Amino acid sequence: MHNIYEATGIMKNTKLCKVEDLKEEKALVIKGDNKYLPGIIIYKGTTSIHIWYNNCPHANLTLDLIEGKVQSKNNDLLCANHGAKFNPETGECMKGPCKNSFLTIFPFKIINNYLIAGN
């Protein structure tokens, strides 16, 4: 990976969404202008927000088989390809073919209630 912005297709300082657009314990997939790049997964937990590179460490595929749909169930993020389950707050694979590996963090900050790419 050259850098996280080129890898995801989401450039630094991109406005991603508003904090209030996020639903608790749900995953939101956002892509950049180049739809062939995997984009990011935004997850809002009960107390914090996390953003991950939309790339499963098992086979370097996006977690969403159906574009934009990453399931979050029982506080897990699921990879639709072979069923890996990730802890959405730590990125760790808890179950599945890449157990104990991690999703890659995508840096962001919150300014005026907007999530902005880059720290």
Q: Which residues contact ligand FES (rule: CB under 6 A)?
A: 56, 58-59, 61, 79, 81-84, 96-97
Q: Which is nearer to ligand FES, 68 or 110 (CB)?
A: 68
The closest alpha carbon to 81, from 90, 70, 92, 68, belongs to 70
Instruction: At 109, list the tokens.
Output: 């900050």
CB of 62 to ligand FES, least distance (A): 8
Q: Which is nearer to ligand FES, 94 or 111 (CB)?
A: 94
Rounded distance between C-alpha atoms, residue 103 and residue 93, angstroms: 8
Residue 119 near residue 109, CB atoms below 8 Å: yes
CB of 20 to ligand FES, least distance (A): 30
Q: Which is nearer to ligand FES, 17 or 81 (CB)?
A: 81
CB of 4 to ligand FES, least distance (A): 19
83 phi, psi to nearest 5 deg: 80, 15
Q: Which is nearer to ligand FES, 16 or 27 (CB)?
A: 27
CB of 69 to ligand FES, least distance (A): 14
